[in-house]
């Protein structure tokens, strides 16, 4: 049976609607309490080979105070159907993932931290792409700016080498590119 592991149900926008959609799609909800975050994901899902032992907390100070769902035993059709219904109803949860052979061996805390990091990274990449688009528009309008060009080359190199990736550096590049775009606009007023 398809299951959703749900962490922090009290933070859900409309948990009653969420439950209704899951019930109508024959999806079992496994509610996880904050005191269970150091259990292995496989254990929380009731998978064979996982005991109730807790994993030593990897980062007890990380902010994991958000709602999160983990899809388990879904085929693609059912998963997208449920996700669409949740989104359309307003009961959608922002943080979500699917089970993998890798993440069932993590503690829920580790999965939450990684999922949040990925979500913040994707948000920053979206913002950087917006600034890159703006830089392209400014180039069309005012001609090429050498400082902006050099920064964009540096950013491209950063994203091509995953071994040097860091969220803080990504934030720095976003802010630098935004500043450069503002400078170019100001200089050409």
Residue ranges covered by each domain of the chain = 3-115, 116-187
For residue 109, what are the CA distances in angstroms to 38, 116, 143, 150, 166? 6, 11, 49, 39, 20
Q: Which residues pair with 5 in a beta bridge?
A: 30, 70
In degrees rounded to 5, what are phi and psi of residue 93?
-115, 130
Task: Answer yes or no: are the C-beta atoms of 140 and 182 closer than 8 Å.
Answer: no
Q: Per-residue pLDDT for the chain (189 aa), expressed as one digit of tens each? A: 999 999 999 888 889 999 999 999 999 999 999 999 999 999 999 999 999 988 887 787 888 999 999 999 999 899 999 999 999 998 888 899 999 999 999 999 999 999 998 888 889 999 999 999 999 999 999 999 999 999 999 999 988 887 878 888 999 999 999 999 999 999 998
Read off the pTM. 0.79
């Amino acid at each position: 049976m398809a299951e959703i592991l749900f962490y922090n149900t009290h933070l859900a926008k409309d948990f009653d609607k969420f439950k209704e959609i899951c019930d109508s799609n024959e999806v079992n909800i496994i509610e996880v309490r904050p005191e269970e975050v150091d259990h292995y994901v496989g254990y929380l899902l009731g998978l064979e080979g996982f005991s109730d032992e807790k994993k030593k907390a990897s980062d007890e100070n990380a902010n994991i105070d958000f709602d999160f769902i983990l899809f388990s035993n879904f085929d693609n059709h059912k998963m997208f159907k449920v996700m669409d219904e949740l989104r359309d109803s307003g009961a959608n949860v922002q943080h979500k993932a699917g089970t993998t052979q890798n993440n069932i061996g993590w503690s829920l805390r580790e999965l939450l931290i990684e999922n949040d990091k990925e979500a913040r990274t994707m948000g920053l990449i979206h913002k950087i792409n917006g600034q890159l688009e703006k830089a392209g528009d400014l180039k069309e309008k005012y001609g090429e700016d050498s400082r902006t060009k050099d920064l964009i080359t540096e950013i491209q190199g950063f994203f091509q080498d995953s071994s040097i990736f860091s969220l803080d550096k990504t934030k720095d590049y976003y802010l630098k590119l935004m500043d450069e775009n503002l400078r170019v606009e100001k200089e050409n007023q």
